[in-house]
Every structure is written in C-alpha cells, then in structure tokens.
Structure 1
Amino acid sequence: MELLIEQYKQGYSMILKEIEGLTEEQFLFKPSEKDWSIREIIIHISDAELVHIHRMKAVLSENNPVLTAFDQDLWTTRLKSQQVDHQLYLELFKTMRESFQPILLQLTDQDYLRIGTHNQDGQLTFKEIFEHSIEHIDTHIGQIRRVKSLFR
C-alpha cells in the first residue's frame, strides 16, 4: 500500500510538470468542438478528486454506501469550466490530496477491503476506488499531452 500512497502523493507534481510553461492560449486550445481544453481537463481532475475523496470517505466510514456516478461532460459544459480559473482548481486539487494523506497513512489492510456499491459499476473496494483515483491522473496527463501536441 505504501507504493500506492506514494503514487497518490505524486499526482499534483505530475500535473504541474506537464503544464509548466504553457501559455494562456495553450490552456484554452480545444483540438475540436467535442474535445476538452487543458484548462477543462485540469478542472475536471479537481472535480473528479472531490468525487473520489467523497467515495473513499464514505466507504471507510459507512457500511456499504451507495456511490453515484457523475456526468463529467455536463459538469464541464454547464459549469463553464473553460471560463474558470484553473490555478484555483490546481490548488484545490493539491489541498484535497494533501488533506487525505494522513487518513491513508492510518489505514489497515481491512480498510482497503471495505466496500461500497456504485450505481453503475456495482461493488467496489476502497482499494479499487483509490487505485482509480491514481490512474485517473495518468489518463488525463496523456490527454494533456495529446492536446499540447495538436496545438499549432
């Protein structure tokens, strides 16, 4: 579990490294109408972290809680993520990750096996949710790289 916790800790610095030196124009660039800009990706990462932490806390403290999905595309468009300060969301992401780390350090092996029931994906263990939150960053770093490569 120590390796997972270390990977979790690295999420923020990995994002910072990927966006270092980008211009405002690059943050706002959308390869197509349906694609997200780097700004929207960053805000989505923070939104998803909020959801992941809620799910993890629910699983750790409640007996088989219901975990609900969210429509990431609607959150991005209806909440006008393209017009929001991504720096604020980066700080929020950093703070959420840092605030959850002391909880992670106290977990037992049994805690990692606790479950919740996702309304679309069925039963999930804490460990599965935690691993997903880590993998989520890798996925979106790949997406940021793709957007950067298409910027002209």
Structure 2
Amino acid sequence: MENAVLEKLQYPIGKFIAPDCYSKSYLEEKIVEISSFPERLKKEVLHLSEEQLDTPYRNEGWTIRQVIQHCADSHMNCFMRIKWTLTEEKPIIKFYYEDRWAELHDNLTMPIQPTLSFLEGLHFRLAYLMKSLSETDLNKSFIHPEHNAEFQLKEIIGTYAWHGNHHLAHITELKKRKNWL
C-alpha cells in the first residue's frame, strides 16, 4: 500500500505514455498544453506565501519553489534540444543532473516571479517553434546519452506537455491535501 501512495505522490497524473500515433491533432493538443502551461502554473502559485512555496510536495520531495525553478531549467533544456536537432544531424544532447540543479541556491531561494515571467517567454517560443515544424522536422532526432536512446522531436512535444502537467499536478495535489484552496 505504501508504494502505491508514494507512486501517486510522485506521479499524480501517471507516468508518460507515448501515443500509438503522433497525429496532427495529438501534436496540436500538446502544443496548446505547452503554450498554456505558464498561465496555468501562475494561477496556482502566485498567491502562495513564502512558507507554502518552501513546502515539499511529498516527503523527501522538492518544494513548490524548486518545482517551479525545475520547470524553467528543464523546459529551457527542451528548447535547446529542439534547436540542436533542427540544426545538426542527430546531435548528442548534453545531459544535466536535474537533482543537483534543484539544490542550487537560485532554485532553493529565488523569488518565483522572475521564473514565471521567464516561463511565459520560453513557452511562447517553444509553442511558436513547435507549430512551425514540418513533418520532416518532427521526425528529426537527437541522442540522449543518459538513456542511450534516440528521441524524435514529435516525441518531445508529448513528453514536455506531460512534464508540465505532471509538475503542475504536484502543486495542485499538495494544495488540496493542505487545504490551501
């Protein structure tokens, strides 16, 4: 039972499940989710106190502040990965230690407003770029050294839409449990 509870806290919307087909409508839907993520996140966190922002979403988990900063770090890496893939032949992308980044001073202490603003601009650019991708572009791929695997850009669209929703659910579920509505 304890493992099921931990799994639900870690993956409140479940783990990412790749679709059988990356249809045009699926990709359009995911780009809308990516585009709307900053506004949905801001709506959930802007009114929180410093104490609430420094509350972990689960035992031994990141604080809400760290989750917000992590989304900026991760989605910035997504943007760079797309750019490399569009301009290089199957690039080997740079792996980063997200757990170590989360423990850096800025991720632990920085106010969230600059990061929310950064996410607005970044997600505008991500969605704008993603909407422009041709079928050929969508099938371009990069190599991820951590997984020793190849990922196509169309897969990244689904993965990062899920990623934003996944971390947003960490926040909304904590708010429900703490009755911070």
Could you tell me the TM-score, scaled by structure 2's length?
Answer: 0.76
Q: Which residue of 2 aligns with 1:95?
A: 121
Deviation at 1:144, TM superposition (A): 1.1
Matched residue of 2:103: which SS?
A: helix
Q: Which residue of 2 aligns with 1:55?
A: 81
Matched residue of 1:97: which SS?
A: helix
Q: Which residue of 2 aligns with 1:71?
A: 97
- The whole-number CA distance in structure 2 between the counterparts of 1:82 and 1:148 is 19
For the Cα contact (< 8 Å) 1:44–1:72, is it kept in 2? Answer: yes
Distance 1:21 1:81, change over 3 A: same
What is the RMSD of the two structures over their aligned residues, measured on CA atoms? 1.9
2:152 pairs with 1:128:
no
Matched residue of 1:137: which SS?
A: helix
Query: Which residues of structure 2 form unaligned runs of 5+?
Result: 1-26
Deviation at 1:103, TM superposition (A): 2.1
- The whole-number CA distance in structure 1 between the counterparts of 2:139 and 2:145 is 19
Q: Which residue of 1 aligns with 2:28?
A: 2
For the Cα contact (< 8 Å) 1:67–1:117, is it kept in 2? Answer: yes
2:136 pairs with 1:110:
yes
For the Cα contact (< 8 Å) 1:46–1:89, is it kept in 2? Answer: yes
- The whole-number CA distance in structure 1 between the counterparts of 2:35 and 2:57 is 30
Q: Which residue of 1 aligns with 2:22?
A: none
Structure 2 letter corresponding to 1:141: L
Identity in percent: 22
**Which stretch shows the higher mean deviation, 42-51 or 92-101?**
92-101
Q: Which residue of 2 aligns with 1:138?
A: 165
Deviation at 1:80, TM superposition (A): 4.5
Deviation at 1:60, TM superposition (A): 1.5
Deviation at 1:137, TM superposition (A): 0.6
Structure with the larger helix share: 1
Q: Which residue of 2 aligns with 1:38?
A: 64
For the Cα contact (< 8 Å) 2:30–2:158, is it kept in 1? Answer: yes
Query: Which residues of structure 1 form unaligned runs of 5+?
Result: none
- Tell me the alpha carbon deviations over residues 129-149 of structure 1, each in whole angstroms, 9 at most, x when there is no partner: 122111111110121123334
Distance 1:73 1:22, change over 3 A: same
| Mapping of residues 76-87 of structure 1, within 5 Å | 76-87=102-113
Specify which of 47, 50, 62 is matched with residue 21 of structure 1: 47
- The whole-number CA distance in structure 1 between the counterparts of 2:168 and 2:113 is 16
Q: Which residue of 2 aligns with 1:11?
A: 37
